[in-house]
Copies of this chain bind each other. A is one copy, B any other.
């Protein structure tokens, strides 16, 4: 079944407390050369339909309406997952 990947990140101008906490712990561990960390979400959406432009438009709409909060987040990419990557992910277990 095809899988569509939607990626959502906090808006650039917003403070990301969780990301800040990770960055501080890296700095404390001597890895201060990692100067910023931001944490977002990755959605994998499986569908039993063929992937068409219309279906991608539907995913874009639900990404805005359901998967992200437009006030604090940006939907930064919507892509059809590459079958090969999927197979790889299957082996990663």
Contact = CB atoms under 8 A, between A and B. Distances in A.
A84 interface: no
A45 B22 CA distance: 10
Tell me how many chains of this kind the complex includes: 2
B66 A26 contact: yes
A46 interface: yes
Given A11-B93, A42-B41, A48 B35 contact: yes
A42 to B, nearest CB: 4
Interface residues of A, number: 42
Contacts of A49: 33
Across the A-B interface, the 10 shortest Cβ-Cβ residue pairs: A36-B46, A40-B42, A38-B44, A42-B42, A33-B49, A74-B92, A35-B46, A76-B89, A35-B48, A37-B45
Interface of A: 1, 7-9, 11-13, 19, 22, 25-26, 31, 33-49, 58, 62, 66-67, 74-77, 85, 89-90, 92-93
